[in-house]
Amino acid sequence: MPAALAGLSLLPPLVLAFDGTRLLQVLALTASAWLWLAWPLRGGRARAMQALAAGVMAGAFLADASVRSFILSTWGALPDSTMVVTALANTSDSEAAEFLLAYWPGLLQQGALLLLSLALLGVLLRRWWAVSAAQAHPSPWRRAAFFLLLLLLLAALSIKPWRKYHPVVFWPLWAEQVADTRAQWESAHLQRAELKQRAAAQAPALAPASPDTLVLVMSDSINRAHLSLYGYPRQTTPQLAQRLQQRSGDFKVFRHPWSADASTVTALANFFHFGEPSSPSRNHFLALAAAAGYQTWWISNHDDLAIHRQHAQLADRQSMLNNVPGRSAASLDHTVLPELERALRSGPGRKLIVVHLLGAHPHYRLRHPPGEASFRDVRDMVYRQLEAGGRSARTRELRNDYDSAIRYHDSVIDRTLELTRTLGGRAGWIFLSDHGQEVGSVSDHAGHSASSADGYRIPLLAWGEAARGVPDEQARLPIRADWLGHSLTRLMGIHWPGYRPERDFLHPGYRWTPPRHPVRIDYLS
């Protein structure tokens, strides 16, 4: 009985620190504490050791939950978010002291709650020790309970995303991450300084008649084959389709764009470094635009340390709006809209505004508002075709979730375009995705895919100065996202020596060469 109560005493602090399925995962991991109590040992000293071991382990979960609750309630962030990790990596001892002073009421409250729950745990374990001494014959069920808890723990530890949340696993890795970040800080700083220097050395010049604003919307995991704008049978892009109908003169849909990569960090490195991320003389799109006289913005609903360090920090102004890394981030993409509006309204001058979205990155169900699950439980032709193709119920459900995310995404993309159109002056607007996504089209798989064309299949849309006068046959050429910088700098009126006309699909001298993909792709598909 006292053991069960001790288990229950962990529940309230954990509920405050975790939600949904994560809470269940962490509860399964707490078996590593209770398992100590289950084995029927007789001696008083042996049982005291059992209680101590259980107490230390349960105490670790309590301390973990307490730190998480504090960070969550103070900044709405997870401890391993870019915001928290970079803030800590960037903190000196005196700043740490200032921090303690600034947040003392919250810290005091969390500290008091932690002490209280530790005391309660101690009392209950002491009680367990006393009660178990009185039992002449420990129940045989205890051995069964031990093996059951052990099984549960081993199962939970065998799954990597679960294991990560065991405090004994999480915090050493976290400390390493902070130390790594601090170590890389200096070198990243130097790299950025070098990129800026190299950009200045290119002496980029601005053509006076070029547009004054470019909004570049970089989304995530959007496969163009799922956009009705590209012929998908489900109505996933009604707003963009309507816009195309209204203004076909200055809105272009490029039919065959491809990413060189199937994941975000490599795709962005390739894109921003003009397809040459590992060249010793590489240039960076943002640094070049800044050197040419553009003001630069990075508005992001992404939380990724590498992206932040390699690209976002090169921008004059950064708005990082999502503080939860990885797949369980629930921040919806429309959070970028007010920031985009602010950037567009801010004074005169040439502007390059990068908007980085989560798009339809897994988990798909978190990429649309709960009330806007347009294709949940839909049993239409698309669904029946998947069924006929032998796709599992899980994949079919994920397809519905993915398409719901695309449908919501349509409204956000259209809104970024509308804001650019009404506030941008002589503006251009470009939308693309970092890479594609396979959602049951070629195999029973849903997610990033380096081994199928869908993993690289992306959309590319342009409006305004970016689309005007582009002939239809140019819009049907295969295009590489990693070369796009050449077309964009020309569009922005930037003259620089690194410009390669054969990589600019808007130039008559454009010559398509396929990227090095590990899979055979029909690039006109």
Q: Which is nearer to Zn ion, 220 or 403 (CB)?
A: 220
How far is the C-alpha of 17 from the C-alpha of 110, rounded, in Å? 12
Q: Which is nearer to Zn ion, 342 or 448 (CB)?
A: 448
Distances (CA, A) of 298 to 262, 266, 321, 340, 483: 22, 18, 11, 9, 20
Give 456's Cβ-side CA count (13 Å radius): 28
Nearest residue to Zn ion on Cβ basis: 264
The two three-digit tokens of residue 453, written as one number: 């064309």
Q: Does 303 bind Zn ion (CB under 5 A)?
A: no
Question: Contact letters (x/-) for Zn ion, 171-210, by CB under 5 A?
Answer: ----------------------------------------
Q: Which stretch binds Zn ion (CB under 5 A): 11-19, 91-99, 177-185, 263-271?
A: 263-271
Q: Which stretch binds Zn ion (CB under 5 A): 80-88, 171-179, 259-267, 423-431?
A: 259-267
Q: Does 333 bind Zn ion (CB under 5 A)?
A: no
Least distance in angstroms from the C-beta of 291 to Zn ion:
28
- Contact between 420 and 429 under an 8 Å Cβ cutoff? The reply is yes
Q: Which is nearer to Zn ion, 65 or 329 (CB)?
A: 329
- Contact between 356 and 298 under an 8 Å Cβ cutoff? The reply is yes
How far is the C-alpha of 126 from the C-alpha of 120, rounded, in Å? 10
In the block, residue with structure tokens 């999480």: 170
- Contact between 325 and 306 under an 8 Å Cβ cutoff? The reply is no
Q: Does 438 bind Zn ion (CB under 5 A)?
A: no
Q: Which is nearer to Zn ion, 264 or 395 (CB)?
A: 264
Q: Which is nearer to Zn ion, 29 or 307 (CB)?
A: 307
Least distance in angstroms from the C-beta of 210 to Zn ion:
30
Q: Which stretch binds Zn ion (CB under 5 A): 89-97, 215-223, 364-372, 396-404?
A: 215-223
How far is the C-alpha of 311 from the C-alpha of 269, rounded, in Å? 8
**Residues pairing with 205 in the sheet:** 495
- Contact between 420 and 430 under an 8 Å Cβ cutoff? The reply is no
Q: DSSP state, 213?
A: E
Least distance in angstroms from the C-beta of 256 to Zn ion:
20
Amino acid identity for residue 137 in this structure = H
Q: Give the number of residues in contact with Zn ion, rule: CB under 5 A.
A: 3
Q: Which stretch binds Zn ion (CB under 5 A): 51-59, 199-207, 274-282, 429-437?
A: 429-437
Q: Which is nearer to Zn ion, 392 or 451 (CB)?
A: 451
DSSP string, 319-358: EE-----STT----GGGGHHHHHHHHHS-SS-EEEEEE--
Q: Which stretch binds Zn ion (CB under 5 A): 1-9, 256-264, 314-322, 508-516?
A: 256-264
Q: DSSP state, 457?
A: B
Q: Which is nearer to Zn ion, 367 or 391 (CB)?
A: 367
Q: Which is nearer to Zn ion, 425 or 447 (CB)?
A: 447
Among 64, 80, 212, 220, binds Zn ion (CB under 5 A): 220
Least distance in angstroms from the C-beta of 265 to Zn ion:
8
Least distance in angstroms from the C-beta of 362 to Zn ion:
9
Give 237's Cβ-side CA count (13 Å radius): 22
- Contact between 499 and 288 under an 8 Å Cβ cutoff? The reply is no
Q: Which stretch binds Zn ion (CB under 5 A): 134-142, 216-224, 294-302, 460-468?
A: 216-224
Q: Which is nearer to Zn ion, 212 or 220 (CB)?
A: 220
Q: Does 434 bind Zn ion (CB under 5 A)?
A: yes
E strand map for 345-436: 351-356, 427-433
- Contact between 132 and 17 under an 8 Å Cβ cutoff? The reply is no
**Residues pairing with 258 in the sheet:** 457, 480
What is the three-class DSSP state of 300? Answer: strand
Least distance in angstroms from the C-beta of 359 to Zn ion:
7
Q: Phi and psi of 328, rounded to 5°?
A: -90, 5
Least distance in angstroms from the C-beta of 68 to Zn ion:
26
Q: Which is nearer to Zn ion, 264 or 441 (CB)?
A: 264
Least distance in angstroms from the C-beta of 450 to Zn ion:
12
Least distance in angstroms from the C-beta of 261 to Zn ion:
9
Least distance in angstroms from the C-beta of 515 to Zn ion:
16
Peptide bond into 363 cis (omega under 30): yes
Q: Which is nearer to Zn ion, 162 or 271 (CB)?
A: 271
Among 264, 319, 395, 449, binds Zn ion (CB under 5 A): 264
Least distance in angstroms from the C-beta of 220 to Zn ion:
4
Residues 90-149 that bind Zn ion (CB under 5 A): none
Q: Which stretch binds Zn ion (CB under 5 A): 12-20, 218-226, 245-253, 414-422?
A: 218-226
Least distance in angstroms from the C-beta of 455 to Zn ion:
10
Instruction: Output b/e per residue, 232-262; b: 16+ Cβ within 10 A.
Output: bebebbebbbebbeeeeebbbbbbbbbbbbb
How far the first Cα of the chain sits from its last, in Å, is: 65
How far is the C-alpha of 56 from the C-alpha of 49, rounded, in Å? 10
Least distance in angstroms from the C-beta of 185 to Zn ion:
24
How far is the C-alpha of 228 from the C-alpha of 373, rounded, in Å? 17
Distances (CA, A) of 45 to 4, 41, 248: 21, 10, 82
Q: Which stretch binds Zn ion (CB under 5 A): 5-13, 214-222, 281-289, 453-461?
A: 214-222
Contact residues: Zn ion, CB under 5 A:
220, 264, 434
